[in-house]
Chains A and B, each alone.
Chain A
Amino acid sequence: MGDCACNSGVKLIYSCSGNADVGEISDRVARALRREGFGQGSCIAAVGAGMQGFIQSAKGADVNIAIDGCPVACARKILESIGVTPESYIVTEMGFKKGHTHVTPEVIETVFNTVKQGKSDKAETKYAPVTGGGCG
């Protein structure tokens, strides 16, 4: 935690952290971004579980970044389910195939740099809104 909102530009980072290789990549990239100070790491599971502290923090952040492994986009959908539109990144849309990607430092660095450079379109311009959320 815990930037004070007196500091503008509060950025929270979420990863889907799914069990597949691309989910692992999303998790490791999110952690690397946090360590570098790109943003604060938050917890998508806590948002999905309805924990109000995490939900209200997402609503109060200036930017929420969702890093999903695959197009199922659980992290993005969970945030959308609480009315938050995140900046969305999907590992499989960066040229990596689910189930066929070795989690190497090079792959992590590629995704890390993509997120850091902000190349992804905002979710609202790239995807239709989704309701319901969940890790389905």
Chain B
Amino acid sequence: MYKIEVLGTGCAKCNKLEENARKAAEGLGIEYEVLKVKDINDIMNYGVMITPALVVNGVVKVAGKVPGVDELKKMIKE
């Protein structure tokens, strides 16, 4: 089970990142769950200074960007 967290306060880019992350996970055919992390303290605990950010199984993969689905697939699997 992959734990995918989308860090951000709910802006358009955060929503797009979540959408792309779901598509990537679906494309990979993996079991996953997506959690939205909006609390500033929780976001800061990851050391993330810019949102949106993506965390996969506890590891920050990207911040301040919205990668495409193919790129996200690589990030999720690596």
Contact = CB atoms under 8 A, between A and B. Distances in A.
A60 interface: yes
Interface residues of B, number: 24
Interface string A1-20: 11111100010100000000
Interface in A37-67: 40, 42-43, 46, 51-57, 59-61
B52 A57 contact: no
Measured as residues with beta carbon below 8 angstroms from the partner, the interface class of chain A is: 20 to 34
A57 B7 CA distance: 12
B77 interface: no
B9 A56 contact: no
A114 B53 CA distance: 32
A5 B64 contact: yes
A57 B48 contact: yes
Interface of A: 1-6, 10, 12, 40, 42-43, 46, 51-57, 59-61
